[in-house]
């Protein structure tokens, strides 16, 4: 059974499904959906996202600017909190908006239209939530985040291949300069 608790400190992790804004009086809090526990935090969703970026040795601004450069988009940019752990999140509105929720791309299994302003999201752990955003916007954000993931993986693979080729060339040159080939390292 899933339980709900109020916490002062929350750290985004691989088990974070979504962070939704929740107004409580005149303040904006976060409703956190997690694999095990649903939690409430007195921090705003964007504050939790920023804290998550810092926990993985970066800043939200750096992650946002990197995504912007890689994708070419300027608004509602998905970000990588930690690519090693597949922690890619996307905003459902402008991150500065009081209605912006953040969704973990890796946990979304399926989504469908509820009405023109709401989307029902099914997560991999069978949990469902209604996000107050059109299905068009939700789908667009899912596709942008998939593009970010793909571009980052291709860059990693490309860098690994370049590093392998560079290492191979260095090793090859070094072996050709060995005394066995009648060459010395002074040439």
What is the secondary structure of the chain as a DSSP string?
--EEEE-S-----TTEEEEEEEEETTEEEEEEEESSEEEEESS-HHHHHHHHHHHTT--HHHHHHHHHHHH---SS--EEEETTTTEEEEESS-TTSTT--EEEGGGEEEEEEEETTEEEEEETTS-EEEESS-HHHHHHHHHHHHHHHHHHHHHHHHHHHHHHHHHHHHHHHHHHTSGGGT--TT-
Tens of pLDDT along the chain (187 residues) come to: 455 667 778 899 999 999 999 998 889 999 999 998 899 999 999 999 999 999 999 999 999 999 999 999 999 999 999 988 889 999 999 999 999 999 999 999 999 999 999 999 999 999 999 999 999 999 999 999 999 999 998 887 876 655 544 444 444 444 445 455 455 555 4
Entry pTM: 0.81
pLDDT of residue 32: 96
Q: What's the confidence (pLDDT) of residue 165? A: 46
């Amino acid at each position: 059974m899933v339980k709900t608790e109020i916490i002062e400190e929350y750290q985004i992790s691989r088990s974070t499904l979504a962070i939704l804004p929740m107004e409580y009086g005149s303040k904006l809090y976060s409703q956190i959906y997690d694999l095990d526990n649903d939690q409430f935090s007195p921090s705003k969703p964007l504050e939790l996202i920023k804290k998550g970026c810092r926990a993985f040795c970066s800043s939200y601004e750096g992650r946002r600017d990197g995504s912007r450069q890689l994708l070419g988009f300027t608004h509602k940019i998905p970000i990588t909190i930690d690519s090693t752990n597949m922690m890619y999140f996307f905003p459902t509105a402008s991150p500065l908006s009081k209605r912006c929720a953040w969704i973990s791309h890796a946990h979304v299994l399926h989504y469908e239209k509820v009405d023109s302003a709401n989307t029902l999201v099914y997560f991999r752990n069978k949990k469902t939530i209604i996000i107050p955003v059109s299905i068009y916007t939700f789908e667009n954000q899912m596709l942008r985040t998939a593009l970010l993931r793909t571009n980052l993986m291709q860059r990693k693979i490309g860098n690994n291949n370049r590093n392998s080729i560079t290492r191979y060339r260095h090793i090859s040159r070094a072996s050709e300069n060995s005394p066995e080939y009648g060459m010395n390292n002074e040439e």
